[in-house]
């Protein structure tokens, strides 16, 4: 186990390095224009461009520029040239709202995704299955920010059932916190809900045809026990794998949902910066988002290896 963890961590460090290099390339090398000018944003003055050139060392060699950029991002000293505020501080401020949104949505989509997938598989071919399939496929086929905008209009602006905007701190008022987050949670969950219920349905249908399920039935176990102990347990594995991957990526920014509901999280910061062509925040958010995904996935892998000896011994199929 120790050796597996060490090897996995070494791999993680290499990927983190590669991710940071790619981020550097995306922002400073790939585009075909003066980097200082791009960084200065909409109200670029010659003086500002000159000082950015100085600060970021855009006349240095590329490796030197890379080091400068990483230093700036990780020291917390990077400021955005549009709002003139420290970028990292704004990102840290956005964490509670973004995490509240993502965790709540994840609870909803896991619960209903598994419930719908289960019902769909057990009643395969029936009207309930058809209905749930239609709902699920529609869910994965719509631009969810569009659904969010429409729900916001009819359920908040027009009827006032839900509050229209903003985020209330959990510590300030838990009820208001949840009330303000209900619509964002639901819209963010819709798509994953559809996707997860589809995956669970097809996995369950496969598992239900396995010999050990037939054996379980043959020895007279109750249907509940067969389903619970034998079918569900094995069908949930791909769901959990997906969840590990999706959740890490989700926190990288539920950008559109935050922007529509004005949640003041990291995603909304990204959206505002995009609207202003303000590059430094996007750089930091991209890098931190990718770092989070890599680290989260490594943790998931290690947890898996702990649970399943085949993985850490390297005997599982590629």
Partner 1 sequence: MAVEPIADSGPADSGPWRLALRRLRRNRVALGFLGLFVAIVVFVLAAPLWADHVAHTGPNATHTLEKVTVDGEKREVVNPEGKPIGPQWFGADGKFFLGADSRLGRDEMVRLMYGGRTSLIVGVVSALITTILATILGLLAGYYRGWIDPVISRSMDVLWAFPVFLLSIALGIALAVGGLEVLGVHISGGSLWIPILIIGVVMVPYMARPLRGEVLALREKDFVEAAVAQGAGSARIMFGEILPNLWSTVIVFFTLNVANNMLLEAGLSYLGVGVQPPNSSWGTMIATGNNLITSDPLLTIIPGTMILLTVLALNVFGDGLRDALDPKSKVRFEAHAGVAATGAAGTAGLEELGR
| Interface positions, 134-193, toward partner 1 (CB under 8 A) | 137-147, 149-150, 152-154, 157-158, 187-188, 191-192
Per DSSP, 60 falls in state S
From 80-88, 170-178, 201-209, 213-221, give the range in contact with partner 1 by CB under 8 A.
201-209
> Taking CB under 8 A as the rule, does residue 290 contact partner 1?
yes
Distance CA 232, CA 236 (A): 6
Nearer of residues 216 and 279 to partner 1, judged by Cβ = 279
> Taking CB under 8 A as the rule, does residue 56 contact partner 1?
no
> Taking CB under 8 A as the rule, does residue 212 contact partner 1?
no
Radius of gyration of the chain (CA): 24
Q: Which of residues 245-264 bind partner 1 (CB under 8 A)?
A: 245-246, 248-250, 252-259
**Tokens linked to 125:** 């071919």
Residue with tokens 């590059």: 279
Q: Which of residues 9-38 bind partner 1 (CB under 8 A)?
A: 15, 18-19, 22-23, 26-27, 30-34, 37-38
Q: What angle do CA 196, 268, 103 make, to 5 degrees?
A: 35
Q: What sign for the dihedral angle of Cα 106, 107, 110, 113? A: negative
Nearer of residues 227 and 298 to partner 1, judged by Cβ = 298
Q: What angle do CA 276, 28, 44 make, to 5 degrees?
A: 40
> Taking CB under 8 A as the rule, does residue 283 contact partner 1?
yes
Residue 236 CB neighbours (<10 A):
18
Q: How far is the CB of 266 from partner 1 (least distance, A)?
A: 10
Total residues interacting with partner 1, rule: CB under 8 A: 76
Q: Which member of 90, 198, 201, 312 binds partner 1 (CB under 8 A)?
A: 198
Nearer of residues 1 and 303 to partner 1, judged by Cβ = 303
Q: How far is the CB of 172 from partner 1 (least distance, A)?
A: 26
Residue 184 CB neighbours (<10 A):
28
């Amino acid at each position: 186990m120790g050796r597996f963890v060490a090897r996995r961590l070494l791999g993680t460090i290499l990927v983190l390095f590669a991710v940071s290099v790619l981020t550097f390339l995306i922002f400073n090398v790939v585009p075909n224009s003066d980097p200082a000018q791009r960084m200065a944003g909409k109200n670029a003055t010659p003086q500002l461009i000159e000082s950015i050139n100085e600060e970021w060392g855009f006349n240095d060699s590329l490796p030197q520029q890379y080091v400068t950029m990483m230093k700036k991002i990780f020291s917390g000293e990077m400021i955005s040239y549009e709002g003139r505020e420290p970028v990292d501080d704004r990102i840290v401020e956005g964490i509670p709202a973004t995490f509240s949104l993502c965790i709540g949505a994840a609870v909803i989509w896991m619960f209903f995704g598994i419930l719908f997938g289960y019902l769909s598989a057990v009643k395969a071919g029936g009207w309930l299955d058809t209905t749930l399939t239609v709902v699920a496929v529609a869910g994965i086929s719509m631009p969810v920010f569009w659904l969010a905008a429409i729900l916001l209009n009819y359920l908040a602006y027009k009827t006032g059932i839900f509050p229209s905007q903003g985020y209330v701190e959990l510590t300030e008022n838990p009820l208001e916190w949840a009330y303000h987050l209900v619509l964002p949670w639901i819209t963010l969950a819709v798509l994953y809900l559809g996707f997860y219920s589809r995956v669970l349905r097809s996995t369950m249908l496969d598992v239900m045809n396995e010999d050990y399920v037939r054996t379980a039935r043959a020895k007279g176990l109750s249907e509940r026990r067969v389903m619970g102990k034998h079918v569900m347990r094995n069908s949930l594995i791909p769901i959990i794998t997906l969840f590990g991957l999706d959740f890490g990526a989700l926190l990288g920014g539920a950008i559109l949902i935050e922007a529509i509901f004005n949640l003041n999280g990291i995603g909304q910061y990204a959206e505002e910066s995009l609207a202003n062509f303000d590059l430094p925040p996007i750089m930091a958010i991209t890098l931190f988002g990718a770092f989070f995904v890599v680290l989260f996935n490594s943790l998931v892998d290690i947890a898996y290896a702990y649970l399943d000896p085949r993985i850490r011994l390297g005997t599982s199929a590629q």
